[in-house]
Amino acid sequence: MHAFPTAPPGIFMLDGNKPSPHGYGINEGDSLEDNLCLYSPFWENAGSRSQSVVGDGTADGTNIGTTWVTKPRGPVLDFGGLGDAFRVDIPFSDALDMGGATEATWSVWSTVRSLDGARDSRFLDHHGATTGNSWGWAYGPEGGGTLGMGLFINATSGNWNMLSDNSIVTLDECHLYTVTWRGGDHCRFYLDGKFFSNGDKVAAGPIATVAGTADERKIYIGDRDPADATRALDGQIESVAIWNRALETSEIKKLFSEPFGLITPGTQTISVEVAAAGGRKNPLNMPLTFPIGGPL
């Protein structure tokens, strides 16, 4: 069972203190938990550390040069495009090692501000050592002015750069960008829960095992590696999630359209921490609880 990070006051919480992520329908007991490798909601809104779901536990990650920004949906991490990154600090042997995987899903809520004219940016990257054929996979906006998205996989059959159709990215707007991949088939790119296009190539699997030092083998969000800022993202990321299975189209739709996940309306409740004006103590001194989808 996943140990979800605890959301701060003001964020909707399911009974049992299990957070409903902003924009992600991932709740305890849902099928969307199956094969969930990483979920980083970035709720802390301060400091250099942030907690993530990793496999069946949690692990801290390190914010490298990023800044916190508060948006109506909650805190987000701002990546300045100059080597800013979030490093998931987990052992290499953890569930995030996708070496040998023959299918996977990567999903990111992001606002992309600008794109380099030539180089691809990174939402997520498992690159490994900077020398040799040591990397595993990467996902992010494509360079070259196409406003496309790219999934890059180092498989035992070779390197595959699979690109979406053009103009999936709209600059300065927050969107949910998702891609699924099954070895031997086209990857499928989704925008806001809806199918956008197939990738332009078919990549065989499985994904290669990442090589390098302990730090090199960690996953980076928003860059390939802060020491190599050539793939840095200029934009903001609200949350990311990775599965080592290809989600179905119906599940991807729920990631966007059903923030409370695969639950029956009216059968579960949410609690909201209510703060009084001016920072005074909440006179109710307790969360408000009401049924989801039921009468208030």
pLDDT tens for residues 205-220?
Answer: 888 888 887 777 888 8
The reply to whether 60 and 146 lie within a common domain is: yes
Residue 7: inside a domain: no
d(CA 243, CA 204) in angstroms, rounded, equals: 18
DSSP 8-state code for residue 193: T
Determine phi and psi for 250, rounding to 5 degrees. -65, -35
The amino acid at 17: N
The reply to whether 279 and 161 lie within a common domain is: no
**Which of the given ranges, 5-9, 85-89, 132-136, has the highest pLDDT on average?**
85-89
The reply to whether 218 and 148 lie within a common domain is: yes
Domain that holds residue 68: 13-257
Residues linked to residue 254 through DSSP beta bridges, in sequence order: none
Element (H, E) at 252: helix 249-257
Residue 80: inside a domain: yes
Return the pLDDT at 29. Answer: 65
**Token pair recorded at residue 231:** 């793939």
User: Between 12 and 251, where is the model more confident?
Assistant: 251
Whole-number percent of the chain with pLDDT over 70? 71
Residue 190: inside a domain: yes
The reply to whether 277 and 223 lie within a common domain is: no
Query: Averaged over 39-53, what is the pLDDT?
Result: 85
Query: Averaged over 276-283, what is the pLDDT?
Result: 44
Return the pLDDT at 181. Answer: 94
The reply to whether 42 and 160 lie within a common domain is: yes
Return the pLDDT at 251. Answer: 92
The reply to whether 247 and 110 lie within a common domain is: yes
Residue 6: inside a domain: no
Residue 145: inside a domain: yes
Return the pLDDT at 291. Answer: 42
User: Between 165 and 144, where is the model more confident?
Assistant: 165
The reply to whether 166 and 291 lie within a common domain is: no
| Res 16 pLDDT > 50 | no
The reply to whether 160 and 279 lie within a common domain is: no
The answer to whether 147 and 109 have CB atoms below 8 angstroms apart is no
Which distant-in-sequence residues (6+ apart) come within 8 Å of 139 by Cβ?
106, 108, 122, 123, 124, 125, 149, 150, 151, 152, 179
Return the pLDDT at 52. Answer: 81
The reply to whether 250 and 286 lie within a common domain is: no
Check which CATH number belongs to the domain holding 134 and give it: 2.60.120.200
Cα–Cα distances in Å, from 50 out to 44, 152, 164, 227, 276?
Answer: 6, 26, 31, 20, 27
User: Between 59 and 239, where is the model more confident?
Assistant: 239
Number of structural domains found in the chain = 2
pTM > 0.85:
no
Residue 5: inside a domain: no
| Res 271 pLDDT > 50 | no
Query: Averaged over 181-197, what is the pLDDT?
Result: 93
d(CA 205, CA 155) in angstroms, rounded, equals: 5
Residue 146: inside a domain: yes
Return the pLDDT at 214. Answer: 77
Residue 1: inside a domain: no
Task: Say what the alpha-carbon torsion angle 190, 119, 99, 58 is, to the nearest 10 degrees.
Answer: -70
Return the pLDDT at 118. Answer: 61
The reply to whether 121 and 235 lie within a common domain is: yes
Which is it for strands 85-88 and 234-243: parallel, antiparallel or unpaired? unpaired
| Res 194 pLDDT > 90 | yes
d(CA 21, CA 260) in angstroms, rounded, equals: 8
